[in-house]
Every structure is written in C-alpha cells, then in structure tokens.
Structure 1
Amino acid sequence: MSGSDGSWSTARRRNSSRTPATSAPRTTSPVASASRCGGDMPREVYHRDLAVLHERILALGSSTRRAVEESMLSLRAGDFEWSRRIDAEDERINQERLAIEERCIAVIATQQPVAGDLRRLASALFVTSELERIADHAVGIARLNLMMVKELSPRPLSYLPSMADRALAMFDDAIRAFDTDDVALARQVCLSDDDLDRLQDRVYADVIAAMRADAGVVERNTYLLWAAHNLERIGDRCTNIGERVVYTVTGESTDTKVSTF
C-alpha cells in the first residue's frame, strides 16, 4: 500500500524486510575441501609427511642406540670425558623428540586421519617418547660412570656387558619391527624380555655376594646395580615399542608379553 507521496510506508518496509540468510556451519574437513580443488594432492602430501616422520623416528632411534652402546663402553673403560659427551648429546635427542611430536600433532590436526592412519600417528608419538626415555637411561649409565671416579679401569662389570648386548639386540629388533610392520618380530621382542630379566638377576646375585665378601666394593657395586636397573628398563621400553607395533598393524591393544618375572 502506498503512502500519500506514492512511496511504500515505513511500517510495510519494516515488516517485509528480511534478515540475510546465514550460511550453514562448515562441516567439510580442510582435507576434503582441498581435495575438491587439488585432486589427490592432499593425500600425496599426507603420505609424504608420514614418510618424513618415519625417517626422523628411525634417525632418532640410531642416536638413541648409539647413546646406549657408548654409555656401556664408557662405563667399562672408565672414560669420564666420553660419559660427559653422552650426557651433553642428550639435549639434542630431547629437542628432536619434541620436534617430531609437534610435527605429528600438526599432521593429525591438518589431515584428520582415522582408523589405521590415526593409530599409526598415535604410535609414532608413543615410540618417539619411548626412544627419548631409552636415551635417558643411557645417560643414567653415563652419569654412574662419572660417580665412580675412584675405581680403576677396565672395571669388573659382572654380567652387565651381557645385559647390554641383550638390551641392544631387543632394541634392534624393536626398531626393525617398527620400520617394517613385522608383527611376529614385535611379539618376539616382548617375549625375549625375560632373558634380560634373568641376566639382571644374575648381576644382582653376583654383585651382592661380592659386597658381602668385601665391604670395600660396596660403593662401586651399588652403582653397578643401578646400571643393571637402567638396562632392564631399556628392555621394558623395547617391549613397549613391540606392543605398539602389534597395535598399529592389527588394532590389538592387549598385553602381548607373557612374563614369568
């Protein structure tokens, strides 16, 4: 209806005005949106990110293994400078762990993986943390060496060298299982932890008997007991990696280790 001047009345305009429709909430993931624009490119980027993360974790594993091996060599030789270098190198391992974790989180946030892909990235976070903790145990052994300033070298280490060999073999198998998704090898890593536990028992029996026989070796042998503890914990963390490989590949989250200890 027109007013006296031929214009639409103000009341009519207010009643007939419409609020602009708001767009519906965006439900499409960034990956899906990018896929419409760029074909398979986001998936290619995702697989490239996974490959880079995998290689960085393997490189971290190499650094960690070297720390374990060298910590035992420095302990046996009584080389304090070597132990100090191992201790200093640990900061680089810590920083690399954080960098890998940040990249994993970024991939999860931007690529929104599900099912097996999500398990793989979650496992990458887990394995990275375990590797960093294994390196911490290596540093623990190196620092024990620095406490043994009064001891002659080479030192009698009981069954510690055998423990170190067993722990490194478990580590190598755990990393190989992680690298190749080898479930059978991962399960074997878990089962072989009992061998390391038996060697630890032999170290304990040996060094405690020596302490009872000679009070002069109590301090040194106490340090050796702690070194054995660090090696045993390295084996436990290798077992954790093995279990995580089984979970990544099969989706099984059960405890695969059947231990008598």
Structure 2
Amino acid sequence: MQPYYTFHHELTKLRKKIMQLSTMVEERVRMATSVIANPDDEIIQKILVTDYEIDDMEVEIEEDCLKILALHQPVASDLRFIITVIKINNEIERIGDMAVSIALRVKTISECLNSCYPNGQGWMYDYSRMSEKVITMLKMSLDALVNRDAQLARKVFLLDDEVDTMMKDAYDKVRERIKKHPEHPGCLINIYLLARHLERIGDRSTNIAEDVIHLVEGIIVRGQ
C-alpha cells in the first residue's frame, strides 16, 4: 500500500470520527436543554451514564492525530487540518461535559424545588430562548467545520453576544428573586448556574468557529 494512499485514508477516517463525536455531543446538548424545561430522570441518567463514550472517543481521536503527525509528518493544509481537529476535539469534549453539568444541575434543582416548595410554588427561569440560541451556535459551528465554511463560522460570533445578554438577564432575574425570597438562596443560585453552563457551551462553540476560520483561511481570529 502506498504511503500517500494510507495517509489520506487516515485523514478520511479522522474526519468521520470527528463528525461522529460532533453528532454525539450535539445530541447530548439537546437532551440536556430539554430537561431544563421538563425534568426527566431517565434522560438525565442517560446523559450521565453515556458520558464515557464521548471521553473515550475524544482520546481515540487525539491518539489518531498524534499517530498521523508522527508517521506522515504532514505539511500545509493537511497539517492545519490535524491541528484544528486536535483543538476542536477538546472543545467538543468539554461541551459534552457541560451537558453533564446541566443534567446534574437540573437534578439538584428538582430535588430542591420538591423539598423546599412541596406546594409547587417554586420558581424557575425560562431558559428556552437561551437554549435555542446555544444549540443554534453549536450546530452552526459544527456545520461550518464539516463544510469548511468560514462565512457560516463568522455568524456564530453574532449569536455569542445575544447569549451573553441572556445570561445577564438570568443573573438579574435570579438576584431579584433572592432579594424577595431569601429563604432558599441555594436553589436560586443553582438556577442561575444553568445560565453559566449554557453560556460556556456558547463560548466553546465560538472557539470552534474561530478554529474553522483558521483552518479555511489560515488566519487567527481568536481574541480579535
């Protein structure tokens, strides 16, 4: 088998694996955001017990990248692609961790609301719009990666500002709620922390978009 053929065969397998990991994580994020509005123990448990699948694939992809670098010593666009995969691989895994954090946070909030407000009078911030924006950011950044679309990647930046504004609104609403009802601050703080987790997914999606632009155009936009 010719080395050139082997090298490009390995690149093709690498692309498929990063796409598979992306699909897995996007599904976990959708599941996690769904339980914010409608807590479901079965879905929460599924998110928690399948997290190892994402961790294992992240390690496998990183090992594949290092093997390709060692054996084939790629240059130019191929080298840039592998470096991008290494960086995005880590971002995607961290997004999976955020989905787990949301699931755990929802479980804690549900237990708190049930114990502190047995009459069902507990309060919950509406995260539906923020969840929708974050999922859109994630999907756009991953689609930009698959299609090597720098223009689509840049659109993610605009949504990041909207998500930051929504997080601030969640903070303001929770703070006002604590002032009026200081008897259960822990539950309310956990409700706000959901905003932090969602915002972090948005930030990681923005990082992916920046890496896609570097892959396609060869320019670094991070921090600009």
Give the gaps of 5 or more residues in structure 1: 1-37
Q: 2-side partners of 1:167 and 1:73: how far apart? A: 13
Match of 2:82 among 121, 127, 131: 121
Q: 2-side partners of 1:61 and 1:118: how far apart? A: 21
Match of 1:147 among 87, 100, 108: 108
The letter of the residue matching 1:233 is R
- Which structure 1 residue ranges, 4+ long, deviate > 6 Å from structure 2? none
Q: Find the residue that maps to 2:77 and give its secondary structure.
A: helix
Normalized per residue, the structure richer in helix is: 2
Q: 1:60 to 1:154 in 2, by over 3 A?
A: farther
1:198 and 2:160 matched = no
Q: 1:110 to 1:238 in 2, by over 3 A?
A: same
Tell me the equivalent position of 2:64. 103
1:89 and 2:50 matched = yes
CA contact (8 A) 2:28 2:99 kept: yes
Tell me the equivalent position of 2:137. 170
- Matched ranges for 1:1-261 at <5 A: 41-148=2-109, 149-152=111-114, 156-255=123-222
Q: 1:214 to 1:156 in 2, by over 3 A?
A: closer
Shift of 1:151: 1.8
The percent identity for this pair of structures is 28
CA contact (8 A) 1:93 1:132 kept: yes
Larger deviation, residues 169-178 vs 100-109: 100-109
Shift of 1:190: 2.1
Shift of 1:156: 5.0
State the Cα RMSD in Å: 1.9
The letter of the residue matching 1:253 is I
Give the gaps of 5 or more residues in structure 2: 115-119
Q: 1-side partners of 2:83 and 2:177: how far apart? A: 46
* Residue-by-residue CA offset, 1:40-80 (whole Å, 9 max, x unaligned): x3222222211211111111111111111111222322323
Q: Find the residue that maps to 1:255 and give its secondary structure.
A: coil
Larger Rg, first or second structure (1 or 2): 1
CA contact (8 A) 1:78 1:155 kept: no
Number of equivalent positions: 218
Q: 1-side partners of 2:136 and 2:61: how far apart? A: 25
Q: Find the residue that maps to 2:125 and give its secondary structure.
A: coil
Tell me the equivalent position of 1:13. none
Q: Tell me which of the two structures has the higher relative contact order, counting C-alpha pairs closer than 8 angstroms and 6 or more residues apart.
A: 2
Tell me the equivalent position of 2:117. none
Q: 1:87 to 1:159 in 2, by over 3 A?
A: same
